Amino acid sequence: YVLIDGVGDVSIPRFGFKTPLQAAKVPNLDAIASAGVNGLMDTVEVGLGCGSDTAHLSLLGYDPRVYLFLYKMAVPHNAHCYFVVLYSNFANLDEKTGIVISWRADRHFEEQGPILCAALDGMKLPSFPEYEVRVSRFRLTKNHLLQPLNAKRAAEGKNIADLVHLRGCGIRIEVPPLEKKRGLRPGMVAPTKIIAGLGFSLGIDILEAPGATGDYRTFITSKANAIAKALSAPLKSCPNVFVLREDKNKPGQPDGYDFRFLHVKDIDDAGHDKATLFKVKAMEAVDRAIGQLARLLWEAESTGNFEYFLCVTGDHSTPVEYGDHSFEPVPFTICSLKDFVSVRGEKTILGGFLDPFPLATVKDGENLTEDVNKGRESNSLKLSAAIQFLSLTR
């Protein structure tokens, strides 16, 4: 199950009014679509621009109105049920205008983030003196303490972190495990903490994938390898797990994994960053990784011990023209691996390389604003010509 975060979009003038997915060269996705069942769906309800947590819950069969999600990866396992957790980012504020210039000062705070958090730990909240801040790696709050660090960032031309943007509050809740609800032993590859937290909440095992970061620097090949390895390990009987055709070949670990969930985040990031060309290139990279996953799974299925099915979909739309989640439906496609191979060609699949590769890079400023301006100029010229033609023919 490959979930491409933010895959939905709208037509882009620069691409001849195609969506980024339509503009991308994705032969493996095309083959899955040709071999399987396809459609569009609203992951929660028609017309709702939902969050990733809400959409993922719904896709996995949980009503998000009943199970309000908690970002559990940010909370100690022994946290009390009355703890309120806020998902947060270090942000950059213009104090003169009071406007948040960047709601995320930096995507890469692996080194400086813990330093900022440590400086905040125990700080009394000015509006609620009876409470204090207790931070962990992923729980952050307002910062006025680390001026040297911000001075260094400013000197390097980077956004300073002088505010914490709070969102996505929740509490710890009890959720029926996915295995009990669906009769499937699940596992997940999801470096993004929100999704990994959801997996933990639903009793899904989280598998490490070295080099998979959940951002633009991710090695997506590592995710494909982790999924394939988990689904093609030695088996043991799992009579309590229902599978199609009542077969006995249940993929998974020795304890019976038969459902693996691969989350891809960078497509959503491209939408938020209004990076049109990067979203196209990132989609092409995802397609290459799906080809690698298909090869590894086909090699396992060819032994006669396994049977696999591929499903690819999204959680919500993140249009590059809008830069945020929107209400457009998302595509889905599902097919058996055997049918995919018959369409794509076994020689093509087995001839694909398995070497790791990074996501494609783009130049600074290669974003939607530039693309849209070009599109607007072209459309303006066409409109002017049309008006002139109409005036001459009257």
> Do 358 and 287 fall into the same domain?
yes
> Do 227 and 252 fall into the same domain?
yes
pLDDT, residue 253, reads 43
Structure-block tokens of residue 302: 């060819």
Is 268 in contact with 5 (CB distance < 8 Å)?
A: yes
Structure-block tokens of residue 327: 């209400």
| Other CB atoms within 10 Å distance of the CB of residue 190 | 28
Q: Give the range with max mean pLDDT: 130-134, 221-225, 332-336, 354-358.
A: 332-336
> Do 191 and 339 fall into the same domain?
yes
Strands across the sheet with 259-264, in order?
Answer: 37-41, 330-336, 309-313, 2-4, 259-264, 186-189, 205-206
> Do 163 and 191 fall into the same domain?
no
pLDDT, residue 233, reads 62
> Do 128 and 234 fall into the same domain?
no
pLDDT confidence tier of residue 108, bands split at 50, 70 and 90: low
pLDDT, residue 2, reads 93
The reply to whether 48 falls in a domain is no
- 3-state SS class at 201: helix
Domain that holds residue 134: 84-171
Q: pLDDT: is 363 or 226 the higher one?
A: 226
Q: Which residues contact 89 (CB under 8 A, 6 or more apart)?
A: 103, 104, 105, 140, 164, 165
Structure-block tokens of residue 321: 């023209």
Domains: count for the chain:
2
Amino acid at 225: N
pLDDT, residue 184, reads 83
pLDDT, residue 10, reads 93
- The lowest-confidence range among 78-82, 148-152, 358-362 is 78-82
The reply to whether 232 falls in a domain is yes
Residue 105 has pLDDT above 70, yes or no: no
The reply to whether 55 falls in a domain is no
Task: Provide the β-strand partners of residue 331.
Answer: 40
> Do 322 and 253 fall into the same domain?
yes
> Do 345 and 270 fall into the same domain?
yes
> Do 158 and 224 fall into the same domain?
no
pLDDT confidence tier of residue 145, bands split at 50, 70 and 90: low
pTM: 0.73
In 3D space, the residue among 172, 118, 173, 159 whose CA is nearest the CA of residue 140 turns out to be 118
Is 181 in contact with 102 (CB distance < 8 Å)?
A: no
In 3D space, the residue among 242, 226, 182, 176 whose CA is nearest the CA of residue 203 turns out to be 176
The reply to whether 207 falls in a domain is no
